[in-house]
A and B are shown apart, each in its own frame.
Chain A
């Protein structure tokens, strides 16, 4: 009986892998508190789980120095009802416990690191990779599995130094046909998330009002993949396709690309710093001087 049910519902059961940004530097500088944010997210997760019996939720925390699995709805035992003093469901209690452990560990890791010169970005590449690993394991478990999708709840700015790793994760997700939805709650614009959603066919949205986050989440990101084809979801007007250069980690829209290893540079180098290929004189420079000369000729 159970197999019949799962067969019947396998097209709208979904596996939601939520990447939760727990970057302390972001949360200390933002208008809403982390606790408010968490209550919105927890309510959203509860809603997703309630939408369909077969829905599954996995939460991965994206920290400043590390990432870890925080919560997996398939592992928690439903009978375990440790409704503590606050009247909170067991699910949330274990979730918060794990999250606290993670943050303590993350803080310890930062003590070990001596050079703290990074931009205040989270380890998005790490959590994306972990999500894809989890999804890959689900794919290999058999034919009947909920349809996976990834939702990035990100607030901290992009870390250009993660560019290659993030892009590789995005392309892996594209290969696996796993859409990456992204909800950017930070103040800047995240090119990574825009590209991730664009390439994988997910939804990108940057809500302006964080006190209405729950509404945004349930309206935009709660629908399963099958239902999406019938729903008008916000579409981005444009996508920020910029890449970061390898030499200064700057986000650039025009630059030099090594013809051997495809490294990107913001300025002309004599030698590729990645693979050591020696570049010739750029033809472009020569051509422009020639055209300069040409343009001047008729006047003189």
Chain B
């Protein structure tokens, strides 16, 4: 397929061996130039786990670092970035291809034989990590209650976590600003060199629509692409020297250059349009008043010098904030065109098209101003100038707070005792009460106040109350009954709970029964469930007597859930029997 001249290193510090990197069907080959070298390499593409590469513009040579599944890395140093990117693109494609392949048969045939080894390994791994799952698997799959696939079908999530493979994420833009591209000087002459890549060009076009427009207008009719970029960077250079006087002079001489130095008209128009869409109640001019960067000693530090806005020649200056905002907007928009070509012109045109479309979206209505006015009046609605909105309102009218309770006593259920007898009783009672007081006043406190046996009995009963309350509530309220069970019983209860859940999940998911396969499955599950039902009973009997009541409380919901399943199973069976009887009596319908 493709060959590249590269230097192969097994580690970063390795000096490397020169050779040829070949990409063939399903593998990557490195053949060293020196036939004696032992650095011959063959990497199967499916084994490649990740690839890293040095960024353009960094001072490192173009390296491609491939990591294989055994976490070994292979570093290839290319002669230039273009080669590296080309190779990288091909590897990515190959990787994507071989990742798709194992999925295909799995989608068509889901029987165990067709499973890829990777999937089986994954299942093994999940089982190894989760002992509870392993126990369930052992209990149900190995006893053939559930098939392997049925077991895993409900746990796709566990398997899926590792197998999210293809990311559809688009490559975004670098966050480096275009103005951050610094020329390299050779130090001897006054020549400065700008390195331009298609990525940078894209960024420039996206951030500066005026440059894009100028490119479409001038290239190739008026000047060559090279001239265009020379002019552009000259303008950038002038700009970066911050010598606005020179910039103004040059702009006056060269109108094409002036295009680059002048504020971007297209951007300004877009900005005006955006401002029109701002909430009309927001006073943008007031915000502008807050800007004090033009004052002495104010401004933003940039490249070591103060970025002071000078009033004269202001049109040749762009503020850092403008640049930053524009750049941020472009980065956020991302790469929204699919043109991945080296042809600068087509990139520019594609971008211009995208802009036009979004612009058209923006102003579908001609009477935008009209709409703006309408919105203004809608937003600026003053609450206190509106007619009162009359919601149906019922004031809380408790006229007499006693109403809250006392005046409604009319319907009080009368005491069974009659009023008269009560009255007499009351007076008798008062009499006896007074007698009691008289008695204590004459006789004094009863002596002895309390009998020792009674006091002992009180202590005993109190101790019992406190200890039983502790038993029921637990030492702290969080502690549950489970913690008081012996460990083996506790584990058994928990295991029963999970296994019953598993069985019930499969049982209910097999309804409605439409195939004979589901029918046998439901039958198998029902048998397994009645098995665990009897196990629950046995467990209840085996446990200590004082724990039995609590345990049966724990077990009851499980048994109830199982009962519901049994009931459904029987009802369904009966209905089917009736149906088949009817079916055989009448004419044979199509089988289900």
Contact = CB atoms under 8 A, between A and B. Distances in A.
Contacts of A36: 446
Interface stretch (A73-81, A96-104, A184-192, A194-202): A96-104
Given A27-B429, A38-B440, A208-B461, A116 B469 contact: no
Interface stretch (A2-10, A129-137, A146-154, A230-238): A230-238
Contacts of B465: 234
A107 to B, nearest CB: 4
Q: Mostly helix, strand, loop or mixed at chain B's interface?
A: helix
B403 interface: yes
Interface in B287-318: none
B437 A35 contact: yes
Contacts of A234: 462, 465-466, 469
Interface in B434-462: 434, 436-446, 449-451, 454-455, 457-459, 461-462
B444 A207 contact: no
Contact of A235 (B396, B406, B469): B469
Given A34-B433, A39-B449, A248-B411, A274 B398 contact: yes
Contacts of A274: 398, 403-404, 408
Contacts of A106: 430
Q: Report the 5 A-B pairs with minimum CB-CB distance, sorted nearest first.
A: A24-B429, A34-B436, A28-B429, A212-B458, A39-B445
B479 to A, nearest CB: 14
Interface string B382-395: 00000000000010
Interface stretch (B325-333, B412-420, B480-488, B562-570): B412-420
A247 interface: yes
Contacts of B411: 247-248
B441 A215 contact: no
Given A25-B425, A28-B428, A235 B457 contact: no
Given A248-B412, A261-B398, A163 B423 contact: no
B439 A35 contact: yes
Given A216-B462, A248-B411, A249-B413, 13 more contacts: A28-B425, A28-B429, A34-B437, A99-B437, A100-B437, A107-B430, A161-B409, A211-B454, A233-B466, A234-B465, A236-B469, A247-B408, A250-B413
Contacts of A216: 458, 462
Contact of A260 (B394, B445, B457): B394
B432 interface: yes
B422 interface: yes
B459 A219 contact: yes
Contacts of A104: 434
Nearest to B429: A24
A51 interface: no
A100 B450 contact: no
A22 B433 contact: yes
Contacts of A99: 437
Given A246-B408, A248-B412, A212 B430 contact: no
B12 interface: no
A249 B413 CA distance: 8
A136 to B, nearest CB: 21
B457 A212 contact: yes
14 contacts: A28-B433, A35-B439, A39-B446, A88-B445, A116-B419, A118-B415, A161-B412, A165-B405, A215-B455, A220-B462, A235-B473, A246-B405, A263-B404, A276-B397
Contacts of B432: 24, 27-28, 34
A286 interface: no
A237 B457 CA distance: 21
B415 A119 contact: yes
Interface residues of B, number: 53
Interface residues of A, number: 69
Contacts of B422: 116
A117 B412 contact: yes
Interface string A272-283: 011111100000
B192 interface: no
A34 B437 CA distance: 8
Nearest to A29: B429
A142 interface: no
A64 B441 contact: no
A22 B436 CA distance: 11
A49 B455 CA distance: 21
A46 to B, nearest CB: 9
A209 interface: yes
B466 A235 contact: yes
Contact of B426 (A64, A211, A273): A64
B436 A211 contact: no
A247 B440 CA distance: 43
A52 interface: no
A207 B394 CA distance: 50
Contacts of B425: 25, 28
Interface in A58-111: 64, 85-88, 92-93, 96, 99-100, 103-104, 106-107, 110
B427 interface: yes
A214 to B, nearest CB: 5
A43 B449 contact: yes
B406 to A, nearest CB: 7
Contacts of A138: none
A164 interface: yes
Contact of A24 (B404, B419, B430): B430
A106 B437 CA distance: 15
Contacts of B459: 215, 219
